[in-house]
Structure 1
Amino acid sequence: MGESWPLFLFLAGLIAAWSMLILGVMRSMLSKCIGDLEDKISGISGLGKDLQRLEREFLEMKATLPLDYVRKEDHMRFELVLNTKLDRLHQDMMTAINAKEKTR
């Protein structure tokens, strides 16, 4: 029994060293994973800021859109009114010309 103590202590030391090695590797892997997660989280928060900026720009564009552009229906209505006025003017001019020719 006295001869097995040094072997037992050697094996216990070997197991302890192996455990420390495994714990060191696990710790480095875990710290790398946590670092990657922190990078992803900071990237996601950056996306939130970009999303807020895009939303603000979209709302500004939506507010200025009616001032800068004319809808198709509005343009067609305006063109119809303008053509009606031009037709009426043409008709009045033709009536005036016909009346003038009759008086000659």
Structure 2
Amino acid sequence: MNKALFDNQLDQLSDQEKLVVFASFDKVELDRNQSFMVIDFLLQAKVADSKRILRELIAQGSIQIDDLKITDPQAQLNVRKDQQLTVIKKGKKNYFIVVW
């Protein structure tokens, strides 16, 4: 599991394994039935304090959602029905967990 974390291969872990790896991280609970634009999702997940900061981070290539680098802050976020959590990475070492 640690290899997947350090090699940026989180998509190879199951949701249960991700819960174990990120057990000590703060989690935010959101409603999967709600429709999100990426920037609004990141704001609700408390990745940054403002949309301006989030746009800058996205422009710098510093945001990943489930190992997918985010390039468009206005993109629509799609959550699978069986998905229990989403892992957000800001920079190299900052992780945020969203539980659905």
- State the TM-score, normalizing by the size of structure 2: 0.12
- Structure (1/2) with the larger helix percentage: 1
Report 1 or 2 for greater relative contact order, CA contacts < 8 Å, sequence distance ≥ 6. Answer: 2
Provide the TM-score with structure 1 as the length reference. 0.12
Which structure has greater strand proportion?
Answer: 2
Specify the structure having the higher radius of gyration (Cα): 1
